[in-house]
Amino acid sequence: MYSEEQQLYFSKNLLEWYQTHKRDLPWRRSKNPYYIWISEVMLQQTRVDTVIPYFHRFVDQFPTVEALATAPEENVLKAWEGLGYYSRARNLQSAVREVHERYEGVVPQNKADISALKGVGPYTSGAILSIAYNKPEPAVDGNVMRVLSRYFLIEEDIMKPSTRTIMEKLARELILEGTASDFNQALMELGAMVCTPRSPHCLTCPVMAHCSAREAGMEEALPIKKKAKPPRPELRAVAFVEGTGENAGKWLIRQRPQEGLLARMWELPHVEWPSSGWQSDEENMSELRQALAEQELIGIQPDEWFMDTEHIFSHIVWKMKVYRAKLGDANRQSTGEEWIPFHYRWVGPEDLQNYAFPNVFVRIMREWQEQCEE
């Protein structure tokens, strides 16, 4: 399909370039398959600069397959706090437990076994097999598709699953005997450092001379990519509940459901708001009290607007209003209607290290602490 000369030039020059230009990244300092695995899962949808501190902390806390396999899940989730896509953490631990129990702690070295592990798809299996074990398997991520689509001028939509299959076949052909580990890393490194999304740095590219997109003046138009749908808006009203009496200085938090969005993470109590929109603060607070009661959180009394904030997921945008609220002894004694379900907890600032929160709630709690210091 593509000329053998163009392919061979690409593989040889890319490998040579990588030897002198590769970054010194923490997960490149060993070939420990377990460490490579952790890094690859963290790097899914996440940039290198973000991952580095998480990687250090994670391997420090869970240095071996056994350590991660036997750790409490909440500790793993806490170590993942802020990285996003938390099913990655739960799947990783589940898969590491399987490696611990079924494979005596040795990460499988064949495509079928490693691909059967939770959270290990075509990219991650190829990355581990090639980088850690030097197996000639392709590892096609977004960087690789961008580089290949340009160098070979491939105009298929890279969002289509069928395009990845084409890319994998091509990437497999490009691996020269015995070079899988370095070549796959070189391919991704080129995409990250030179053949970047917006304005590729062609003049420093080691394979510019035979790049088809460059020859055609197409490098900025590739890869072809269908646009994602914009996130749908959701209104959310949050109750920042400050304790009184024996709970003075503490806040009320709760754990999210076992499945779905932000599964098993902790959060401030809140309700989804009708899309018809906000009313006055007075009306909002009254509505919030009733809505929380319908969630069986009875006796909450919002009393003051605190802040507005927004949290953007890939598919939803939460537009949030946060209200201060009380649930105190006075309330309990006068009404006798207070009831807090078991998955709620009173925590102080010193307890936060024991719970994993989505970033949006970390931001709200940090804002509250800053205002307290004033």
Partner DNA sequence: AAAGCGGGGTG
Partner DNA sequence: CACCCAGCTTT
Judge whether 349 and 369 are in contact, CB under 8 Å: yes
From the list 358, 364, 365, 368, which residue makes contact with DNA (rule: CB under 7 A)?
358
Query: Judged by CB, which is closer to DNA: 6, or 115?
Result: 115
Q: Give Cα separations from 213 to 107, 166, 175, 222, 326 (angstroms).
A: 39, 18, 21, 8, 62
Ramachandran category for residue 15: left, alpha or beta (phi over 0 → left; psi -120 to 50 → alpha)? alpha
33 binding DNA? (CB under 7 A): no
CB < 8 Å & 24+ apart, contacts of 211-217: 211/150, 211/151, 212/6, 212/150, 212/151, 212/152, 212/153, 213/149, 213/150, 213/151, 213/153, 214/150, 216/153
Q: Among 4, 5, 40, 81, which one carries the catalytic annotation?
A: 40
Instruction: Calculate the CA dihedral of residues 1, 161, 122, 167 and round it to 10 degrees.
Output: 20
260 binding DNA? (CB under 7 A): yes
Neighbours of 175 (CB within 10 A): 21
Restricting to residues 134-163, name those near DNA by CB under 7 A.
141-143, 145-146, 160-162
Q: Is 73 an annotated catalytic residue?
A: no
3-class DSSP state of 63: coil
Restricting to residues 51-90, name those near DNA by CB under 7 A.
82-87
Restricting to residues 173-192, name those near DNA by CB under 7 A.
191
Query: Judged by CB, which is closer to DNA: 149, or 181?
Result: 149
Query: Cβ of residue 253: shortest distance to DNA, in angstroms?
Result: 15
Number of residues interacting with DNA: please give it, by CB under 7 A: 49
Restricting to residues 187-216, name those near DNA by CB under 7 A.
191, 197-198
Query: Judged by CB, which is closer to DNA: 197, or 249?
Result: 197
Judge whether 290 and 303 are in contact, CB under 8 Å: no
Q: Where do we find the tokens 């289509």?
A: 160
221 binding DNA? (CB under 7 A): no
From the list 263, 293, 298, 347, which residue makes contact with DNA (rule: CB under 7 A)?
263
Q: How far is CA 133 from the centre of its chain?
A: 26
45 binding DNA? (CB under 7 A): yes
Handedness of CA 220, 161, 49, 17 (dihedral sign): negative
50 binding DNA? (CB under 7 A): yes
**Dist CA 266 CA 283 (whole Å):** 27
349 binding DNA? (CB under 7 A): no
Query: Cβ of residue 208: shortest distance to DNA, in angstroms?
Result: 20
Query: Cβ of residue 116: shortest distance to DNA, in angstroms?
Result: 9
Restricting to residues 113-132, name those near DNA by CB under 7 A.
118-125
Query: Cβ of residue 100: shortest distance to DNA, in angstroms?
Result: 18
Pairing mode, strands 316-327 and 232-243: parallel
47 binding DNA? (CB under 7 A): yes
275 binding DNA? (CB under 7 A): no
Neighbours of 333 (CB within 10 A): 9
**Dist CA 372 CA 46 (whole Å):** 33
From the list 22, 111, 172, 311, which residue makes contact with DNA (rule: CB under 7 A)?
311
Q: Which residues form the catalytic set?
A: 40
Task: Write out the residues near DNA by the rule CB under 7 A.
Answer: 44-47, 49-50, 82-87, 91, 118-125, 141-143, 145-146, 160-162, 191, 197-198, 225, 227-229, 260-263, 311-316, 358-360
